[in-house]
Amino acid sequence: MVPDYKGLHTSDHVYAKYVSGDRELYDLTIDPYELQNLYETTDPPLIVQLDPGSKC
């Protein structure tokens, strides 16, 4: 079963925010198979750009 989430897919990134509070961010230019979640280690301005309502 797939949990409820909202997401955004751009040419460079995939970002997902789950109702549980979990988040995922993948850089498709270096990780096209979405194997390494970068959410915890990425710069907060990128998160805000992808999710303007985000509180990083």
Does 25 fall in a domain? yes
Does 18 fall in a domain? yes
Does 10 fall in a domain? yes
Report the domain count for the chain.
Answer: 1
Q: What is the pLDDT of residue 3?
A: 87
How far is residue 36 CA from its own chain's centroid? 11
Q: What is the pLDDT of residue 54?
A: 78
Does 22 fall in a domain? yes
Does 13 fall in a domain? yes
Cα dihedral 1, 41, 53, 13 sign: negative
Residues in the chain, pLDDT under 70:
55-56
- pLDDT by residue (tens digit) across 22-32? 999 999 999 99
Contact 38, 26 (CB under 8 A): yes
Residue 33 CB-density burial (10 A; 0-12 exposed, 13-18 middle, 19+ buried):
exposed
Does 55 fall in a domain? no
Q: What is the pLDDT of residue 52?
A: 85
Measured between alpha carbons, how far is 39 from 56 in angstroms, rounded to an integer?
A: 10
Q: What is the pLDDT of residue 53?
A: 80
Does 31 fall in a domain? yes
Task: Please state the pTM of the whole predicted model.
Answer: 0.88
Q: What is the pLDDT of residue 56?
A: 62
Range of the domain at 31: 5-46
Does 54 fall in a domain? no
